[in-house]
Amino acid sequence: MKQKSIEMLVQGASSLGITLEMFHVEHFQKFYSLLLEWNQKMNLTAITEEEEVVIKHFLDSLSVIKSGKIKGGEKVIDIGTGAGFPGIPLKIVFPEIGLTLLEASKKKVNFLNFLSQVLLFEGIEVIHGRAEELGKVERFREKFDIATARAVAPLNILLEYAVPFVRVGGHFIAMKGRDIEEVYQCKNALEELKCEIEDVIEVRLPFSDILHHLIVVKKVDVLPSKYPRREKAIRTKPL
């Protein structure tokens, strides 16, 4: 990566309250070069220009820290992680989190496995599967402190995918764009899924005028076993 992009990464992270050391930067550089390399043979990301990747993938992923819920040591699941967003940037900065990357596409899972080996991560597992199925499996059900998701489904559906993974008292952090109308359309889902919106945090991406929101959802009670009910994922466009 060029010096300017590295400076943007370091300064942008600093504006989010994160101090990046040289080894963090090297991890991001390796991530970027593998992303580009694998993107030539499969569709991992439409964003490839260096500074854009820094802002829209790396810094956007790191903005999850604004939720105040990730401090290190938590068990985190990133649902529909794609090429590893927001999970991998968070793992680079907080190596002590236990990270599960859940992804429905086998090709992307292959990339994530390779990436994890190259970056020599410990405490990471890559799972190939669908959230609506794995949320019912004992090994995953209500076992995580935090679930994250970016650009996977509308919030009412996403709640049904994510909340089964979260322990009572834990949080689901949904990364959403400028428009958060969907927050007002998920009252029933919140009630049925035994959770409540604890916070809605506006994030302005560094070096841009892009506004995003973190929807911080707290799980307040054990979920009835019928959830998740859906059997098919509904995809949305990337942010």
Ligand X SMILES: C[S@@+](CC[C@H](N)C(=O)[O-])C[C@H]1O[C@@H](n2cnc3c(N)ncnc32)[C@H](O)[C@@H]1O
Contacting positions for ligand X (CB under 6 A):
80-83, 85, 102-105, 108, 130-132, 150-152, 161, 233, 235, 238
Structural element, H or E, at residue 144: strand 144-150
Return the number of the residue (133 or 199) whose C-beta is nearest ligand X: 133
| Beta carbon of residue 201, minimum distance to ligand X (angstroms, whole number) | 17
Please work out, in degrees rounded to the nearest 5, the angle formed at the alpha carbon of residue 72 by the alpha carbons of 68 and 74.
90
**With b meaning 16 or more CB within 10 Å and e meaning fewer, what string describes 85-107?**
bbbbbbbbbbbebbbbbbbbbee
Give residue number: closest CB to ligand X. Answer: 82
225 marked as binding residue: no
| Beta carbon of residue 132, minimum distance to ligand X (angstroms, whole number) | 5
Which tokens hold the place of 46? 């439409």
CB neighbours of 30 closer than 8 A, spacing ≥ 6? 118, 119
80 marked as binding residue: yes
Return the number of the residue (74 or 132) whose C-beta is nearest ligand X: 132
5 marked as binding residue: no
Q: How far apart are CA 12 and CA 2, in angstroms?
A: 15
Binding residues for S-adenosyl-L-methionine: 80, 85, 103-105, 131-132, 150
Binding residues: 80, 85, 103-105, 131-132, 150
